[in-house]
Chain A
Amino acid sequence: MDTDKVMTIDDVVGELRSGMTIGVGGWGSRRKPMALIRAIVRSDLTDLTIVSYGGPDVGLLMAAGKVKRVVCGFVSLDTIALEPHFRRGRQDGTIELTELDEGMLYWGLLAAAHRLPFLPIRAGLGSDVMTVNSDLRTVRSPYGDAEELVAMPALELDAALIHLNRADRRGNGQYLGPDPYFDDLFCLAAARRFVSCERIVETSQLREAGPVQSLLVNRMMVDGVVETPHGAHFTSCAPDYGRDEAFQKRYAETEWSAFRATYLDGTEDDYQRAVGSHE
């Protein structure tokens, strides 16, 4: 009973505070915890710093005025190269940006996961990533090579939000698609860790669904589990479903207030019903 971590979407949002640094799993428009993102859009949270391999998670939160800063290497919808709300926010100067090489983002999460202040990396040297992030420092190897490298600071997160295919009630989570992305690292880098999933199953069913290597996160790494069927929509969640390209196009092309009124002002159930009408 005390190990049961099942929560509702609103419980998760209730654990978040304005001004927090929140890591969002997935990659681009792939396996994003969109149901949790939609819940934040509906909440009164503000001034968030979002750390992400950015996709529509960043775009939705920016359009809804929730974001103070984005920490990323890119923001893209994959099949639509440029995220419209991210573009607008940058061009209107409404958000701050920490722009990093994708490998630096990985390294920053890894440093936080290992409780290290930084990790050395070559990526970034010589590029304008070093000039637009004036707080980035380099470090010199103490060995014979004396090579100078970027000291990528740990990206410590107040909270991590990820979406997986399956999880049990205790917080063991499983991905069944071809790529884990960096979801385990987001959890390891965060103080509070929330996993949404397509289906909550019995622990014994996890091994029936996939090989042991697919058990990406375990209950040491997770504080809350939410069942959100179709919860990554409109991003892909292989093998449960692919990206909803038609809906993604609608998202990218619809004026924000109209999109929000049609799809986001109600509950997650309302959203899924409204989306179902387009299938």
Chain B
Amino acid sequence: MNDGVLIAACADAWRGDGAILASPMGPLPMLGARLAQATFAPELMVGDGESYLLRDGLIEGWLPYRAVFTIVAAGRRHVMMGASQLDRHGNQNISCIGEWARPTSQLLGVRGAPGNTINHTTSYFVPKHTRRVFVERVDMVSGIGYDRAAKVGARFHEIRRVITDKAVLDFETPDRTMRLRSLHPGVSLDDVLDNTGFDLSIPDDVPTTRTPTPAELEIIERLAGGVRSPA
């Protein structure tokens, strides 16, 4: 898949968020956040993956880790995390695969996923859309999905988008389960269904994910040239 389509899809996740902190994890979401800031979302705050807020390549603020947790609690943030597993309710796992007590594969740990998902808008970026990721049931709920959020009365929970190498997905269904929002150019519906381990909600007419404009492509090119390595 053309990275430009993925970067623009990531950028679109932050559309309308205003002056909040965009926290992209990984190089393509980082380019997406910076593209959004450079075009339709100039109010967006974007960190450098360490301790600075950057705009137009200049430091505009200081954001050490402890300040991030205050922003998380205040809700002025929209994070785009990775996901080793995701289920149809949006429960996410980055902790470990297998039984938690003795995992077959230890991954990162829950990191900030529980706090992110209960406090503010969250999106996910999945570079490889497979049945290993899109599972019926995640092994360890790190980021909470809509079913879990409803059970604990989470007032600030929102999963905005899931962006993969094949499609854009969301939870804009009556029962808040995962829906196909758009297919990337050249990707078939069957390709997505074959690689998703649960029933997806499919609209009658599935749109095609937009391609970036020439102006956006130019900006991506410029940003990618000077992009910092992600944390």
0/1 interface trace, chain B 95-108, chain A, CB 8 Å (1 if under): 11000111111111
A76 on interface, CB distance cutoff 8 Å: yes
Binds A, one of B146-154, B158-166, B194-202, B204-212: B146-154
Main secondary structure of the interface of B (DSSP, over half): loop
A39 on interface, CB distance cutoff 8 Å: no
A50 on interface, CB distance cutoff 8 Å: no
Indicate which residue in B52, B115, B140, B229 contacts A178 across the interface (CB closer than 8 Å): B52
Say yes or no: B115 contacts A126, CB within 8 Å.
Answer: no
Say yes or no: A181 contacts B153, CB within 8 Å.
Answer: no
Within 8 A of A (CB), among B101-156: 101-115, 117-119, 140-144, 148-149, 151-154, 156
Cα of A82 to Cα of B231 in the assembled complex, Å: 13
Say yes or no: A73 contacts B111, CB within 8 Å.
Answer: yes
Say yes or no: A91 contacts B109, CB within 8 Å.
Answer: no
Say yes or no: B118 contacts A126, CB within 8 Å.
Answer: yes
Say yes or no: A128 contacts B50, CB within 8 Å.
Answer: no
B78 to chain A, nearest CB (A): 16
Say yes or no: B72 contacts A91, CB within 8 Å.
Answer: no
Cα of A91 to Cα of B111 in the assembled complex, Å: 18
A179 on interface, CB distance cutoff 8 Å: yes
A81 on interface, CB distance cutoff 8 Å: yes
With CB as the reference atom, state the residue of chain A lying closest to B156.
A122
Say yes or no: B51 contacts A74, CB within 8 Å.
Answer: no
Say yes or no: B106 contacts A90, CB within 8 Å.
Answer: yes
B109 to chain A, nearest CB (A): 4
Cα of A86 to Cα of B229 in the assembled complex, Å: 24
With CB as the reference atom, state the residue of chain A lying closest to B118.
A122
A78 to chain B, nearest CB (A): 6
Say yes or no: B111 contacts A102, CB within 8 Å.
Answer: yes
Given contacts A87-B106, A132-B100, contact A102 B112 (CB under 8 A): yes
Main secondary structure of the interface of A (DSSP, over half): loop
Say yes or no: B107 contacts A82, CB within 8 Å.
Answer: yes
Indicate which residue in B51, B115, B151 contacts A104 across the interface (CB closer than 8 Å): B115
Say yes or no: B102 contacts A127, CB within 8 Å.
Answer: no
Say yes or no: B151 contacts A126, CB within 8 Å.
Answer: yes
Q: Please name all residues of chain B whose beta carbon is closer than 8 Å to the beta carbon of A75 when the two chains form the complex.
A: 108-109
Cα of A185 to Cα of B203 in the assembled complex, Å: 51
Cα of A204 to Cα of B154 in the assembled complex, Å: 51
Cα of A182 to Cα of B73 in the assembled complex, Å: 17
0/1 interface trace, chain A 80-106, chain B, CB 8 Å (1 if under): 011000110011010000011111101
Given contacts A93-B102, A179-B65, contact A129 B114 (CB under 8 A): yes
Chain A CB count within 10 A is highest, among B69, B73, B102, B149, for B69
A139 to chain B, nearest CB (A): 13
Cα of A110 to Cα of B158 in the assembled complex, Å: 28
A72 on interface, CB distance cutoff 8 Å: yes
Say yes or no: A103 contacts B142, CB within 8 Å.
Answer: no
Say yes or no: A126 contacts B149, CB within 8 Å.
Answer: yes
Q: Please name all residues of chain B whose beta carbon is closer than 8 Å to the beta carbon of A125 when the two chains form the complex.
A: 114, 118, 144, 152, 154
Say yes or no: B231 contacts A148, CB within 8 Å.
Answer: no
Say yes or no: B108 contacts A179, CB within 8 Å.
Answer: no
A100 to chain B, nearest CB (A): 7
A99 to chain B, nearest CB (A): 6
0/1 interface trace, chain A 142-154, chain B, CB 8 Å (1 if under): 0000011000000
Within 8 A of B (CB), among A50-94: 53-54, 72-76, 78-79, 81-82, 86-87, 90-91, 93
Given A73-B112, A122-B115, A128-B140, output 8 extra A-B contacts at Cβ < 8 Å: A101-B111, A101-B113, A103-B72, A125-B144, A126-B117, A128-B100, A128-B142, A180-B64
9 smallest CB-CB distances across A and B, nearest first, come from A123-B115, A178-B51, A74-B109, A127-B114, A90-B106, A126-B148, A101-B114, A126-B144, A103-B115
14 of the cross-chain contacts (CB-CB < 8 Å) are: A27-B65, A73-B110, A82-B107, A102-B115, A103-B72, A103-B112, A121-B115, A124-B118, A125-B114, A126-B148, A126-B151, A128-B110, A178-B62, A182-B65
